[in-house]
A and B are shown apart, each in its own frame.
Chain A
Amino acid sequence: MKNTIKELREKNGYTQDDLAVLAEVSRQTIISLEKGKYNPSIQLAFKLGKIFNLSIEEIFIYEEE
C-alpha cells in the first residue's frame, strides 16, 4: 500500500527515530512503512493519523489489485 509517510515526516521535521518514538514502534517499522514493504495495523494507522493530524485516507493510498 502506498503512503505519504516519508513526505509528511520530513514536512514536520521528524527523523525516523522521532516518528518511531511518537508512534511507539521501532525505527525498522517506520523504514518498512515508508518503503511500502509493510502495511500497518489499524491502530498504528490511527496513531500516525493523530501524529500528522490527518485522516488515514490522506496518509495511505489504497489501490485495488
Chain B
Amino acid sequence: MKASKMGVDFRGYLQALIIGIIGIGAWLYSNNQGVVGEGMKFVQAFSITFILIGIGGMILTKYFKKHPLKSIGVVNKDDEMLKLVRYKAGYMSFQITLACLILFTIFSATEIIKTNISIYALGIIIFVAMNFLDMVLTSIYSSKTM
C-alpha cells in the first residue's frame, strides 16, 4: 500500500486555502448584493486569514521537509502510528461535539437555554470547539503511546 503523495500537513493547508477562497467568493457575491454587517466583516477577515495560513503553510511544509530544523528533525505525520492517533482523536472529537450539539438542540428547543446566538456564531463555536478537542485528544492519545 503506497502512502499518499500529499502529506496530511500539506492537505490541511490546501484545504484552508480552498476554504479561504470560497469565503472570499461568498463575501464578494454578498457584497455585490449589498449585504453588510458583522458577519461580512468576520467572513472577510476569516477568509483572508485562511488564505494566508494556507499559502504560508504549504510553502513552509515543503521547505521544512527539505531543510528540517536540527532540534526537531523530520516530522512524519503520515507515520502509521501518528495517523492512528489522529484518527482516534478526530473520531472522539466528532462524537463529543455531536453529543454536545444534540444536547444544545434539546435544551434550546425546550427553552432551558434561551439564546439569540446567530447561526454563524454557532458555526464558529462548533468549529473552534471541535478543533480544540481534536488538539487535546491528539495530545492525550499521543502521550499514551509513549
| A residues at B contact (CB < 8 Å) | 17, 21, 24-29, 31-32, 35, 37-38, 40-41, 43-44
| B residues at A contact (CB < 8 Å) | 1, 73-76, 79-82, 142, 144-146
Subset of 17 A-B contacts with CB under 8 Å: A25-B76, A25-B80, A26-B76, A26-B79, A28-B81, A28-B82, A28-B142, A28-B145, A29-B79, A31-B145, A31-B146, A35-B146, A37-B144, A37-B145, A37-B146, A43-B80, A44-B80
Chain B residues whose C-beta falls within 8 Å of the C-beta of A21 in the assembled complex: 74
Q: Contact: A32 with B80, CB < 8 Å?
A: no
Chain B residues whose C-beta falls within 8 Å of the C-beta of A44 in the assembled complex: 80
Q: Contact: A17 with B76, CB < 8 Å?
A: no
A17 to B75, CA, bound (A): 11
Residue of A nearest to B74 (CB): A21
A21 to B73, CA, bound (A): 11
A37-B144, A37-B146 given; A17·B73 CB < 8 A: yes
Residue of A nearest to B142 (CB): A28
Chain B residues whose C-beta falls within 8 Å of the C-beta of A31 in the assembled complex: 145-146
Chain A residues whose C-beta falls within 8 Å of the C-beta of B73 in the assembled complex: 17, 27
Chain A residues whose C-beta falls within 8 Å of the C-beta of B76 in the assembled complex: 24-26
A36 CB to closest chain B CB (Å) equals: 11
